[in-house]
Amino acid sequence: MASELRAERIAAGGDAIAREPDGRVVFVPGALPGELVRVTLVEERTDFARASLDEVLEPSPDRVGPPCPFVAQGCGGCSWQHIRPEAQPTLKVAIVAEALARTGGLRDAVVVAGPALATTGFRTTLRLAVDARGRTGFRAARSHDVVAVGPCLVAHPRLNELLDVEFPGAREVTLRCGAATGDRSAATDPAGAVLEARLPTDVATGRRAAIREVVEGVELHVSTGSFFQTRADGAAALVQAVAHAADGHVGAGPMVDAYAGVGLFAVTLGAGVSVTAVEWSRSSCADARHNLAGRDAHVIEVDVERWRPHSAGLVVADPSRRGLGARAAAVLAATLAPRLVLVSCDAASLARDTKLLAGHGYRHAGSTVLDLFPHTPHVEVVTRFDRA
């Protein structure tokens, strides 16, 4: 059934929220706050509904035509291409503030936007789907179809050069490059398929493949099996935001880098400081040991929830989307660190963790939202917590 609705705000997943006359919430992908839209309900539940956007009757001043031509061909890689890039950080700040208010119970939390980052050519890691012919691309919106793209608006130029390489027999391929070094690597699922690809000879493949990246003047070794931030300038922005949130607490006692990956925060912030890096991936731990060689640093390969905490002057924690959860929050709080800096890539898990940390005496003291993923609703949030 078609109806006209006024979009009110943006929900965490990036859809707009509108209300029917009886107050029921309707999620409308592709609409923007303030817009009058004609929609068709596609899913109806008692307390909410989902709709498809038929027509924008009164467009927002922030609405733009997608800058990438592959959106018209169905590419689902970037779902916010209809929003002016300069307006996206403000929407992300609103998403985080709303999650902290609703789930975290903080009505007046300080939430600010971080510095502006490039909105094109930034991705130094690309995870691509592969079609039956071996061509790479992104999944179409709400579908398993693969839309071949190239050049990709958000990919680093060094990776765009690889988008016409075919990977017969692969389901997925991960391409990575070092923005500072020009290094490139490729890995496929299944692993053997990468051997069939006609890649330029400089592209590292295989079990030991790695790239080097430089962040804040420090070189990092990153193996294909290890997590690394999807953009080099974003990694630098994160380090700066974490340093700002840590304030005078770097060096005020041992530092714990929890969910350390290849040691991004331990390496860049922990010079001259005793550091414990906690990480469960074998590949990431091996890279972290390499990157922290010669430092007063211990890399511990264990689930954060099972780590036996020691006292610390600063904890930096950068968990995956699900956040810390109750057990890890308790473990990290047991360090009694006066300052804890949490890096969250999901607004809802940040809000849940904020509540959990409050239960251990850690007070929310401000969040900075970094726009590491322009043209998508994904957020990256650096939050400072002070121990009471």
Ligand X SMILES: C[S@@+](CC[C@H](N)C(=O)[O-])C[C@H]1O[C@@H](n2cnc3c(N)ncnc32)[C@H](O)[C@@H]1O
Q: Which residue ranges make up the site for ligand X (CB under 6 A)? A: 227-229, 259-261, 264-265, 279-281, 284, 303-305, 318-320
Nearer to ligand X, 209 or 269 (CB): 269
Q: What is the smallest separation between the CB atom of 318 and ligand X, expressed in angstroms?
A: 4
Q: What is the smallest separation between the CB atom of 257 and ligand X, expressed in angstroms?
A: 7
Q: What is the smallest separation between the CB atom of 82 and ligand X, expressed in angstroms?
A: 28
Rounded Cα distance between 53 and 5, Å, is 10
E strand intervals along 81-135: 111-113, 125-130
CA-based nearest residue to 199, from 171, 166, 157, 158: 166
SS3 122: coil
Nearer to ligand X, 186 or 328 (CB): 328
Token representation of residue 319: 């968990």
Q: What is the smallest separation between the CB atom of 37 and ligand X, expressed in angstroms?
A: 35
Rounded Cα distance between 231 and 370, Å, is 12
Nearer to ligand X, 133 or 282 (CB): 282
Q: Print the SS3 string covering 10-49.
A: ECCCCCEEEECCCCCEEEECCCCCCCEEEEEEEEECCCEE
Nearer to ligand X, 29 or 261 (CB): 261
| 167 neighbors 136 (Cβ within 8 angstroms) | yes
Nearer to ligand X, 68 or 314 (CB): 314
- DSSP β-ladder status, 16-19 and 111-113: unpaired
| 288 neighbors 279 (Cβ within 8 angstroms) | yes
Q: What is the smallest separation between the CB atom of 258 and ligand X, expressed in angstroms?
A: 7
Nearer to ligand X, 75 or 179 (CB): 179
CA angle centred on 381, ends 380 and 387, rounded to 5°? 150
Q: What is the smallest separation between the CB atom of 297 and ligand X, expressed in angstroms?
A: 14
SS3 359: coil
Residue nearest ligand X by beta-carbon distance: 261
Rounded Cα distance between 288 and 217, Å, is 16
| 5 neighbors 39 (Cβ within 8 angstroms) | yes
SS3 252: coil
Nearer to ligand X, 17 or 350 (CB): 350
Q: What is the smallest separation between the CB atom of 26 and ligand X, expressed in angstroms?
A: 33
Task: Give 186: exposed, middle or buried? Use CB within 10 Å, 0-12, 13-18, 19+.
Answer: buried
Nearer to ligand X, 17 or 264 (CB): 264
Nearer to ligand X, 198 or 308 (CB): 308
Q: What is the smallest separation between the CB atom of 306 and ligand X, expressed in angstroms?
A: 8
Q: What is the smallest separation between the CB atom of 255 and ligand X, expressed in angstroms?
A: 13
